[in-house]
Amino acid sequence: MGNLAIDRRPPISMVCHQRLMAVSVAEFVRLLRLLVVAPYQLNIDAGVAELVGNDQRIRIIFTPRPVRQLGRLSLPELAVCVEFQGDDSYEADRFMAGFDSGFHRGGG
């Protein structure tokens, strides 16, 4: 699968955890701000969020995609790539579990 979110800056890791999310940019940023807790500090600028704390850096690149039509229902779509500095796969997996849980929406 190709890169879903495009950014001209070099990656901070070789692994991009990709997600296609049914959320607007405004809602994504709002929810991301709620998820970020100490020791991380969050900086957001032009489609890139960076979390820095405890010698760890995470970059989240988010790019709006065309609205998805399901009959009369219109859903926003956002391509998201989460990159981690370093090789700590346990911390990356832990962060991604919290990220996925924080953006999970209930359903049947």
- Domain with 48 in it: what CATH number? 3.30.1370.80
Query: Could you tell me what percent of the chain has a pLDDT over 70?
Result: 82
What pTM, to 2 d.p., does this model score? 0.81
Query: How many domains does the chain divide into?
Result: 1
pLDDT band at 66 (very low <50, low <70, confident <90, very high): very high
Q: Give residue 9's pLDDT.
A: 59
Beta partners for residue 66, in sequence order: none
DSSP H or E stretch at residue 21? strand 16-21
Q: Give residue 8's pLDDT.
A: 56
DSSP H or E stretch at residue 67? strand 56-70
Beta-carbon count within 10 A of 61 CB = 22
Q: Give residue 40's pLDDT.
A: 85
Range of the domain at 57: 18-103
CA distance 22 to 77: 5
Classify residue 6: in a domain, yes or no: no
